[in-house]
Chain A
């Protein structure tokens, strides 16, 4: 069974321990940050920040502010667009769930960055010989039976690692048990064919204005790779069709010209 992570944002306390744990495990450098209009820090995911907590303040009608903390990282789609577009197969979905990247295959074309519906893959723009970087779901830890470093470090059980089926069941159990507490949809259950990151939020992602922050809600339930695969499935037939048509038309048109030539010559002889 494919592994997944249940991210219950109502349990998150916004400590950013997961950001630190991720940096520790992947040996990533820290970043000098500055104050900005948001509490989210760092401001963007990049080749040194595989995950970050988005801080959202949503004003209630009566004027009260509600805090929401939403973790962003690779969604580890069940059928990833990045895997389907990579011309050299550098991105692979593992049986356990992680979508991992092969440093030695990548040519640096950046099509995965363009195609990812969640805009997750990032490029090492600061390096002369850059590679793609993104959350790998701690594939090396999962392989030896450990949970990803972020969920291991989470103090409030907002990040629960486990089998996807079991976690989905648990997510729906929580929604059913606390009707007012959760928005009744699990983000990641169906979107783009399902992802390994399953989100429980108190309100919808649109209300949290996350649809412009990497969590689009207009993506549909079809994996994006299908569009490329549909195209590729036609390619051999188009090749055969065009090739056959070209050869056929060449001979037909040549013959037609010959016949016309003969006719006009015969006409002259008469």
Chain B
């Protein structure tokens, strides 16, 4: 085990195999991005009039935002529910959330037909549009997260009086962050309220907003757990197992709530649940494999108190959130019946490059910013 770690991370800052692979993907992505900008969406993606939204919407935007839900979830747990013991997990959660949103905005930039008009919703308003609200919330929330990261940078630059100022108004940032997240996490689901006729019965729900919100909390907690394990492995730190198993308990509860919400919703709408086709296969995988299974796993204290058990439970739940977003936006979407969609190489490379870029920024950030520990002695936030 230690040998493996040595091989991947012989020293911080040096170009290691892991980083080298990430850089190669990133460069391939940059080339693809340039090709996409010069040749347009039609010739570089497999999107069409039948499938106007594809991989980038499903993964970069819907899944990315849900997985970045850890920032507001942890902030709410610590500052609003006063669960101070989770404080060691807050900074990495906020930092990965910020990177998630940064990556999301870059992904959106390449998905838009007119990328340089990305600022238009700021001045051209349509208050009856859910997407208008989402774009405003995302802009403001990314700003909130940016201020948060800026405070970390201020700590590094030892501007303590400024840090103290931000600490004083910190509750404002937390409340704004929680409020904006609640709104846009659920509104991303509400985008699909307007197209029930194009969606499978399994996902076309009037309750899709609350369902998206709940699963974003799951995605956030799952990613915080995974991120904690992976970075403790990569940076050779001891994982905070006690904290994480406590978080795992919470994750199990949220999964149960989400499962109950899903089942109630399906029952209330009278959706045909028991059939066998492609959509139902993905539906069963989502509901039983990635919601019910980790929820059951997390009821066992043996699972909650082992790294491997938590790793699997958190991994399954996070994967389940991604699967749900793909199901809602692609599996469920009927479009034209005689067309199908599978992403092009350029779509896939750009998405992979966004992930690689996110990891590299995180890696860079943990070395230059006080992500894992406050530089102010005794105080962490």
Task: List residues of A whose CB falls within 8 A of some B CB.
Answer: 44-46, 81, 84-90, 105-111, 113-115, 117, 119, 122-131, 212, 216, 218-219, 224-225, 227-229, 231-232, 235, 238-239, 242-243, 246-247, 249-250, 253-254, 256-257
Contact = CB atoms under 8 A, between A and B. Distances in A.
B24 interface: no
Given A46-B49, A81-B194, A253-B82, 9 more contacts: A45-B49, A84-B128, A88-B125, A89-B126, A110-B113, A111-B191, A114-B194, A247-B171, A249-B80
Nearest to A228: B130
A250 B171 contact: yes
B209 A231 contact: yes
A87 B129 contact: yes
A15 to B, nearest CB: 26
Given A88-B126, A242-B182, A246-B179, A113 B52 contact: yes
Nearest to B337: A212
A89 B131 contact: no
A102 B186 CA distance: 29
25 contacts: A46-B49, A87-B120, A87-B134, A88-B126, A107-B120, A107-B121, A114-B52, A117-B195, A124-B113, A125-B41, A126-B40, A128-B39, A128-B40, A129-B113, A130-B41, A216-B197, A224-B195, A228-B128, A232-B129, A232-B130, A242-B179, A246-B175, A246-B179, A247-B171, A250-B79
B126 A114 contact: no
B48 interface: yes
A130 B117 CA distance: 12
- State which size class the interface on B falls in: 35 or more
B134 to A, nearest CB: 8
Greatest chain A CB density within 10 A among B47, B114, B187, B194 is at B194
Contact of B80 (A85, A106, A232, A246): A246
Given A81-B194, A85-B130, A253-B82, A119 B178 contact: no
Interface in B116-153: 117-118, 120-121, 124-135
Interface string B93-116: 000000000000000000111110
A86 B127 CA distance: 10
Nearest to A250: B80
Contacts of B48: 125
Contacts of A254: 82
Contact of B193 (A87, A227, A242): A227
B117 A87 contact: no
Given A89-B126, A127-B42, A242 B178 contact: yes
A127 B182 CA distance: 37
Given A88-B126, A89-B126, A238-B183, A129 B40 contact: yes
B195 A114 contact: yes
A242 B72 CA distance: 13
Contacts of B133: 232, 235
B336 interface: yes
Given A231-B187, A253-B80, A219 B197 contact: yes
B325 to A, nearest CB: 15
Interface of B: 37-43, 47-49, 52-53, 76, 79-82, 84, 111-115, 117-118, 120-121, 124-135, 171, 174-176, 178-179, 182-183, 186-187, 190-191, 193-195, 197-198, 206, 209, 336-337
Nearest to B175: A246
A117 B197 contact: yes
B116 to A, nearest CB: 9
A238 B128 CA distance: 16
Nearest to A122: B49
A235 to B, nearest CB: 6
Contacts of A129: 40, 113-114
Nearest to A115: B194
Given A125-B42, A216-B197, A246 B126 contact: no
A22 B84 CA distance: 67
Q: Which 5 A-B pairs have the closest CB atoms?
A: A108-B113, A125-B42, A253-B82, A128-B40, A89-B126
B183 A235 contact: yes
> Interface centre among B81, B121, B130, B175, by most A CB within 10 Å?
B130
Nearest to B82: A253
A235 B178 CA distance: 14
A246 B187 CA distance: 19
A239 B141 CA distance: 13
Nearest to B191: A111
A111 B40 contact: no
Contacts of B113: 106-110, 123-124, 129-131
Contacts of B175: 243, 246-247, 250
